[in-house]
Structure 1
Amino acid sequence: MRSLEDMAARLANALPPQVGPMREELKANFKAVLQSQLAELDLVPREEFEATRDSLVHARARLGELEARLDALEAPKEND
């Protein structure tokens, strides 16, 4: 992912030439806005996301195993 600095610079450089003298100030403002908006998204690091995903995959597999065991226990016996 691009750094906030890089994204702010790209936004500032996309402005028309007439705003040249204010470009650095606008770049700082863009960076501040990006930081505040990203902070509100409640993002998690990729490592934490992947660990949670792996745990969920394991839990789903285990649930499938337990459901199969329960079905086998609840199945009518042939001797009954």
Structure 2
Amino acid sequence: MINPAKIEEIAKQISSNMPQGVKNLADTFEAKTKQVIQNKLSEMDFVSREEFDIQSKVLIRTREKLTELEAKIAALEAKLEQSDDTE
């Protein structure tokens, strides 16, 4: 998920750039902005970097296993063809 500290930093930047007359509403605005952004981001179908890295490693291992199995099948097929030729 996106870093909550980054969302908080963005909300603070927005509130610090408001006109002086609105400063007293900055805390409420910051909280509401943060809440809206977090809600919208949670609705999106994102995966964390950690989840992505884990799935990448799983995919690499799966590809390696597939390559091994393909080589074994090819060897067995070649063996089978040789035994058919000798009969």
| TM-score, reference length from structure 2 | 0.66
Other-structure match for 1:62: 65
Q: Secondary structure at 1:77's aligned position in 2?
A: helix
* Aligned twin of 1:74: 77
1:10 aligns with 2:13: yes
Compare 52-61 and 41-50 and name the one that shifted more. Answer: 41-50
User: 2:56 is matched by which residue type in structure 1?
Assistant: R
Is the 1:12–1:23 contact (alpha carbons within 8 Å) kept by the matching residues of 2? Answer: yes
Q: Distance in 2 between matches of 1:64 and 1:23?
A: 58
Stretches of structure 1 that go unaligned for 5 or more consecutive residues are none
Question: What are the Cα deviations for residues 45-70 of structure 1, in whole angstroms up to 9, with x where unaligned?
Answer: 43333222211110111001111211
Q: Rg bigger for which structure?
A: 2
Q: Distance in 2 between matches of 1:14 and 1:48?
A: 36
Q: Aligned residue for 2:25?
A: 22
Q: Which deviates more, 38-47 or 54-63? A: 38-47
Task: Give the 4+ runs in structure 1 shifted more than 6 A.
Answer: none
Q: Which residue of 1 aligns with 2:56?
A: 53
Give how far 1:6 is off: 1.6
Q: Which has the higher helix share?
A: 2
Give RMSD over aligned pairs.
2.6
